[in-house]
Homo-oligomer: A and B are copies of this chain.
Amino acid sequence: MVDNMAMPYVVGIDIGGQTTKMGVVDTRGQVLAQTVIRTDTYDDENLFVAEVAEALDKIIRESSSEGKIRGIGVGAPNGNYYTGTIENAVNLKWGGNKTINFAELLSKKTGGLKVVLTNDANAAAVGEMTYGVARGMKNFIMITLGTGVGSGIVINGEVVYGHDGFAGELGHTCAVRNNGRLCNCGKTGCLETYCSAIGVARTAREWLSLTDEPSILRSLDNISSKDIYEAAKEGDRIAVKIFEFTGMMLGRSFADFVAFSAPEAIVLFGGLARAKEFLYEPILNSMNANLLPLWRNKIKIMFSQLKESDAAILGASALAWEL
Other-chain contact of A293, B176, B186, B259 (Cβ < 8 Å): B186
Q: Does A155 contact B (CB under 8 A)?
A: yes
Contacts of A186 in B (CB 8 A): 293
B174 touches A88 (CB 8 A): no
A163 touches B187 (CB 8 A): no
A169 touches B78 (CB 8 A): no
Other-chain contact of A294, B78, B156, B262 (Cβ < 8 Å): B78
B88 touches A169 (CB 8 A): no
A262 touches B163 (CB 8 A): yes
Contacts of A176 in B (CB 8 A): 177
Q: State A168–B163 Cα separation when bound (angstroms).
A: 18
The binding surface of chain A is classed by DSSP as: loop
Give per-residue flags for A265-306: 1 if the beta carbon is below 8 A from chain B beta carbons, else 0.
000000000000000000000000010111100100000000
Given contacts A155-B155, A158-B156, A163-B264, contact A259 B173 (CB under 8 A): yes
Q: State A257–B264 Cα separation when bound (angstroms).
A: 19
Q: State A304–B172 Cα separation when bound (angstroms).
A: 29
Given contacts A263-B163, A264-B163, contact A187 B153 (CB under 8 A): no
Interface residues in chain A, defined as those with a beta carbon under 8 Å from any beta carbon in chain B: 78, 87-88, 138-139, 153, 155-156, 158, 160-170, 172-174, 176-177, 185-187, 252, 255-257, 259-264, 290, 292-295, 298
Closest residue of chain B to A153 (Cβ to Cβ) is: B260
Interface centre among A166, A173, A187 (most CB of B within 10 A): A173
A260 touches B262 (CB 8 A): no
8 tightest CB-CB pairs across the interface, nearest first?
A: A162-B262, A167-B262, A163-B264, A139-B163, A173-B256, A169-B259, A166-B262, A167-B261
Q: State A200–B156 Cα separation when bound (angstroms).
A: 36
A155 touches B166 (CB 8 A): no
Question: What are 20 residue pairs bridging A and B, where the CB atoms are less than 8 Å apart in the complex?
Answer: A87-B294, A139-B162, A139-B163, A153-B261, A156-B158, A160-B261, A164-B262, A166-B294, A167-B262, A168-B262, A169-B259, A169-B292, A170-B259, A173-B259, A173-B260, A174-B252, A177-B252, A185-B293, A187-B290, A187-B292
Other-chain contact of A155, B160, B174, B263 (Cβ < 8 Å): B160
B261 touches A165 (CB 8 A): no
Contacts of A87 in B (CB 8 A): 294
Interface centre among A153, A158, A261, A264 (most CB of B within 10 A): A261
A260 touches B168 (CB 8 A): yes
Contacts of A167 in B (CB 8 A): 260-262
A162 touches B261 (CB 8 A): yes
B155 touches A138 (CB 8 A): no
